[in-house]
Structure 1
Amino acid sequence: MSKKYFSAPGAQGPYSLAVKAGDYLYISGQIGHTDADGRPLASVESQTKRCLEKMADLLKTAGASFDDVVKTTVFLKNQEDFTKMNGVYTIFFSGAKPARSTVIAGMVFPEIMVEIEAVAYLPEA
């Protein structure tokens, strides 16, 4: 089975942003507490959008799209934010919806409201 690792300049922590192993692409949890310029994002909607924009970039780099995603896990800091997060999530997953788990959990940094990880299916040619 072939493996390919994806990382980005300035990535923090001892992990890959994504790993393609065989037919699957595993995307590490994406957080979006700051915009592309490093400014803080204060709403769960803006953080969810940023998480999924970052995920879209990783999918594109691997030759995939949201249509290839088969499973996501959403970690939410506050249960009250579920409906708001879901509103943004459905914009990005407009076609067939992947399997999903949503977990209410503490976050690594207090300003983080949402983190999303994914698995995509990309059959090798």
Structure 2
Amino acid sequence: VGVGERATPDGAQRAVTAEDAYALLLRFAGGGLGLVSLVSTAHHARGDLIEVHGEAGTVRLDAERRLWWGRAGEDLQCEGPLKASSKDAFERVARSFWSAIHEGAPPDPPLAEGLRVQALLDAVRTADAERRWVVPEPVG
């Protein structure tokens, strides 16, 4: 769900021109549901947090790079902080892209993966505009 307008300090409404907040409700092919949310302007936010909950248990990666996991009915266990970060992931992709251009190495991730991500983002925009479920276009 996108935010079209926001109040200014003087109380007027102003069009939102940057996607600084969003929430996505996902329905997977196998029937599971997913929720993705981001608010980049939130005060006192906990930072990046990825959680996956299923009938067998939970996995969580938090902003301090700690990995938590546990089977259903058991306490969560913690490992970390892990050495890798989101910055490390970006640097790895950038290095791979450079290598593909300058050394002819196969790109990683491959172009098809990027196209699938773009198809998902296009479906999200359509779903928001039309207020309905949208299946991403298949990518070869």
> TM-score if structure 1 supplies the norm length?
0.23
Q: Which has the larger radius of gyration?
A: 2
Greater relative contact order structure (CA < 8 Å, 6+ sep): 1
